[in-house]
């Protein structure tokens, strides 16, 4: 039953298991529970995907094989028309779009229907809007948006002055699985990395750092959770009984609960879910101080985590050894890190989204 009498549509490329997709699924679940008629519209279906929450309606907007032509321009037009047809069918009061080209598609398809569109940039804007022409087109089209959701204060500064008034910082919330204290787990001498295995996530630096110090720490091991294009090559290069590539796992929280150290070595991030989750579980965290400032917004240096410069392998080795040598320091930093649960609780962040969206709809 649509108690609120409002309809909200989230738009993204797919529900593949990534950070932005996870946020959309959680938001859709929340708004559905609040009584909004809630849709998730995706360009396509990918595998594996997050399950669609109960009560949320999933729609797919891609053109079919028979609708594809030899003309890229015509295909783009057909995709916009297909998406516009969905908006005409469901008549949302607001559209929330996530990531790069999806934002432009949402704006182009909804503009003639006068449906407000909020666009969300989910990583470092310099990366998400890379390409001079794409950035210019994006900034031009963002002028017609009802709002621009950024993840960090530094991200807002990337926008031109005429768009900053449209921008709001909306942090990610702690997933409810990571808010639980119901199970006491013994911390093993394990260092954990969670995320897509690629050059940006920069797992190679951690593998190299661990290789150079592991002889002094024979009871420690390094655990990587996730898949990606660099997984196979890194597995071959760093094959060792103390380095374990787990691949994509269900219930990663259960693995993190038993870890002693978490490392996020990324070159660029928005507001990293993996770091938030590790902190919420009380794991002592080391993160690169990468653009666009997500880790720096979360970590108070030396108090609830440790920041190191991007690509600073010597700094990483120093901080790893420091944490590996001192059980009490790991425990102290981890305990302080759990306070992120209060700052970024689902209740607080979801309410921020609700107030923001209701305000736009009311206008």
Q: What is the pLDDT of residues 190-209, one digit of tens each?
A: 999 999 999 999 999 999 99
Helix (H) or strand (E) segment spanning residue 22: helix 19-33
Burial 299-313 (b: 16+ CB within 10 A, else e): beeeebbbbbeeebb
Residue 116: partners with Cβ closer than 8 Å, 6 or more residues away: 93, 94, 95, 146, 147, 360, 361, 363
Q: Please tell me the CATH code under which domain 7-173+345-362 is placed.
A: 3.40.50.2000
What pLDDT shows up at residue 35? 96
What pLDDT shows up at residue 183? 53
Largest CA distance in the chain: 65
What pLDDT shows up at residue 250? 85
Q: What's the pTM?
A: 0.85
Residue 113 DSSP one-character state:
G
Q: Which structure tokens are listed for 153?
A: 């204060």
Specify the CATH class of 176-343 in words. Answer: alpha beta
Q: Which structure tokens are listed for 142?
A: 């963002």
CATH 3.40.50.2000 boundaries in the chain: 7-173+345-362, 176-343
Residue 155 · residue 125 · CB < 8 Å = yes
- Per-residue pLDDT in tens (0 to 9) along the chain, 363 residues: 455 689 999 999 999 988 899 899 999 999 999 999 999 999 999 888 999 999 999 999 988 888 888 898 999 999 999 999 999 999 999 999 999 999 999 999 999 999 999 999 998 999 999 999 999 999 999 999 999 999 999 999 999 999 999 999 999 999 888 887 755 568 999 999 999 999 999 999 999 999 999 999 999 999 999 999 999 999 999 989 999 999 999 889 999 999 999 999 999 998 999 999 999 999 999 999 999 999 999 999 999 999 999 999 999 999 999 999 999 999 999 999 999 999 999 999 999 999 999 999 998
Cis check for the bond before 48: say yes or no (omega within 30 of 0): yes
What pLDDT shows up at residue 1? 47
What pLDDT shows up at residue 2? 59
Burial (CB count within 10 angstroms: exposed 0-12, middle 13-18, buried 19+), residue 160:
exposed
Helix (H) or strand (E) segment spanning residue 87: helix 72-90
State in Å, rounded, how far the first CA of the chain is from the last one: 24
Question: Long-range contacts for 157-160 (Cβ within 8 Å, ≥24 apart)?
Answer: 158/125, 158/126, 158/292, 159/125
Q: How far apart are CA 315 and CA 331, in angstroms?
A: 21
């Amino acid at each position: 039953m649509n108690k609120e009498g409002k309809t909200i549509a989230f738009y993204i490329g797919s529900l593949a298991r990534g950070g932005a997709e996870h946020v959309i699924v959680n938001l859709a679940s929340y708004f559905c529970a609040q009584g909004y008629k809630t849709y998730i519209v995706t360009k396509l279906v990918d595998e594996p995907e997050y399950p669609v929450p109960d009560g949320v309606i999933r729609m797919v907007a891609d053109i079919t094989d028979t609708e594809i032509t030899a003309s890229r321009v015509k295909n783009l037009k057909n995709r916009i028309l297909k998406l516009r047809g969905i908006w005409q069918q469901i008549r949302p009061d607001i559209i929330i779009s996530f990531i790069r080209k999806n934002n432009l598609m949402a704006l182009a398809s909804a503009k003639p229907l006068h449906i407000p569109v909020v666009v969300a940039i989910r990583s470092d804007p310099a990366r998400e809007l890379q390409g001079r022409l794409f950035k210019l087109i994006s900034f031009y089209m963002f002028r017609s948006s009802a709002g621009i959701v950024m993840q960090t204060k530094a991200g807002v500064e990337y926008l031109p002055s005429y768009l900053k008034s449209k921008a709001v910082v909306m942090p990610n919330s702690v997933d409810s699985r990571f808010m639980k204290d119901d199970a006491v787990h013994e911390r093993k001498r394990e260092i954990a990395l969670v995320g897509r295995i690629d050059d940006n996530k920069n797992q190679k630096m951690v593998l190299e750092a661990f290789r150079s110090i592991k002889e002094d720490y024979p009871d420690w091991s390094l655990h990587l959770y996730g898949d990606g294009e660099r997984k196979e090559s890194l597995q071959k290069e760093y094959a060792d009984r103390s380095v374990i590539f787990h691949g994509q796992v269900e219930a990663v929280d259960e693995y993190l609960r038993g870890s002693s150290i978490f490392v996020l070595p990324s070159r660029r991030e928005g507001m990293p879910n993996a770091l938030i989750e590790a902190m919420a579980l009380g794991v002592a965290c080391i993160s690169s101080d990468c653009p666009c400032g997500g880790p720096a917004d979360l970590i108070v240096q030396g108090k609830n985590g440790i920041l190191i410069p991007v690509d600073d392998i010597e700094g990483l080795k120093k901080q790893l050894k420091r944490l590996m040598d001192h059980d009490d320091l790991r425990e102290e930093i981890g305990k302080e890190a759990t306070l992120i649960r209060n700052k970024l609780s689902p209740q607080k962040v979801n309410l921020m989204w609700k107030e923001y969206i209701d305000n736009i709809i009311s206008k």
